[in-house]
Structure 1
Amino acid sequence: MTHDDPAHAARHRALPPVVCYPPETLTPPPLEMYRAARATAKKVAEVRIPAREARCWEAPAGTFFRLSSIEGPQVGDLNLWNARDMTERFWSGKTRALHGTHVTTGERMWSTFPYMRPMATIVTDTLDWYGIDEHGGSVHDVIGTRCDPYTHHALSGGDMYHHCCHSNLTRAVADHLGVPLQEAEPHVHDVCNIFMCTGFTRDTGQYFMKASPVRPGDYIEFFSEIDILGAMSACPGGDCSTTHSSDAAQCHPLLVEVFEPEAGALDGWEPPAINGYDRTHGRDG
């Protein structure tokens, strides 16, 4: 049942939107310092992520990590944790509230309460030219959750698909930590969909995907604000033009590279402090 418009319907629809969390008062990242340090940084590690699989890597505070398309259009599901304390992890919801549904150069990956601080800053994005298209689509979204076997089972009642990004990330974390899958799975969280082109339909507000514009040579690069443990899955949907859980989609590997700046390149920089909010909520003692 749909109710008829009340008398005030048109007036309320015409009201201007108000941004909930204006980011202008946030301390801006020192991008010029980061870029100067990156210019002379040396590669110290790389991890190749096979198609339909996931891998972990570490990027200490003050280093850079680059996520690249190397063989064909491919999207990746990214998780980040504090490498010293995995209870601090990337929070897609707060990142979305502060920066919008899709992230790009100069924007930051924020961590969960009670830490709530920048974990990583985007210093370069070769797909920043895409912007927002006529359908409302853009790249590097922080609105999707990740393809997973639980939703697949709820929708189809069929057998589990074990190369969903959730499953891939779970196996990668279990292998990296040397723990059982059941212990690793709770660490896996909502992702940043790297290179994925997504948005919401205008008529129903449903999450949609379309072919990613990513091509070999495209990359997004982050500065590690804290000690990072990262994991990324090369999504079984390939460029996600038709599906995001399939053995039929054409998929490609992704590459992670870690770069270390020269000594002194970041003089004066310090990792961001844990959020200063008083957790006693005003209570004494």
Structure 2
Amino acid sequence: MKLTARHLFFLVMPPLMWAGNAVVGRLLVGHLPPVFMNAMRWALVAVLLAPLARGVWRQGGLVRARWAHLAFIGALGVGSYNALQYLALQTSSPLNVTLIASSMPVWMMVVGAVGHGQHITRRQALGAVLSSAGVVLVLARGSWQALQHVHWVAGDLLMLLAALAWSVYSWQLARPPVHMQGGQRPAWNWAEFLWLQVVFGLAFALLCSGVEQALLPPQFQWPVGWGAWQPLALGMAFIAVGPSILAYWGWGKGVAAAGPTVAAFFSNLTPVFAAGWAWLLLGQVPQWYHPVALLLIAAGIMVSSRTAPRP
């Protein structure tokens, strides 16, 4: 399919926001329990979106008829993905987590093939190789020897589960059940549909957070005083608005337009955008491998999108 400027806007926004989340989220990990942090993130999103989603408050019948699907995608996209990512960062390195996340196009193709009968083309496979090579180039900082020092730990398995959960979630957006298609789909706008996902996903996230609280090690110390909570509050505010509301809005629109497989290639732009954030905010000048990686990822997107069927 041909990607228009509108498609590119929606598909580029999520990795741009996720790049900021990669910085802020890692700063917050260790200061708050990871599953609790995920629950609080989405609780804030639910509050922020509530005024925009007030139309669904009077549609209880439509929601009850579709609660199973809403609970399923909410548990995957809201309740599981970010919690698993934050948990992974407790034992895994950012390098490992980002490397595993770069396999997203592959998981998208696997889920599409197994769950939706989507044929994997040679161009899609080639696109996945090119895109992943660009990500690995950034993470290796232009030196392949750096990858020899990667050690795999338990958190890596959690990140694999996160990637799988996000792939299933994305395909559910592209190939929803019959009652969410065509004339049977309620006339929910993006904010109403996202708010419903957040509400159902938040219930699952709070349940998981309760389990986490019961299992917290005794030595864990909660922040004390406004001075300790202020940077956490600012970080949570950014995560709620950027990587949550804006990124999920763009992802939903992008998946609907281009399909989950093509959209997954755009997620590999995250480490490149992270370098851009570091340049703007920290004065860290990009290196030679950053534009090369961008070209590889862009090539992967172009190759794969030429033959990827629209769902």
Establish whether TM, by shorter chain, passes 0.5. Answer: no
For CA contacts below 8 A with separation 6 or more, give which structure has more relative contact order.
Answer: 2
TM-score if structure 1 supplies the norm length? 0.27
Which has the larger helix fraction?
2
TM-score if structure 2 supplies the norm length? 0.25
Which has the larger strand fraction?
1
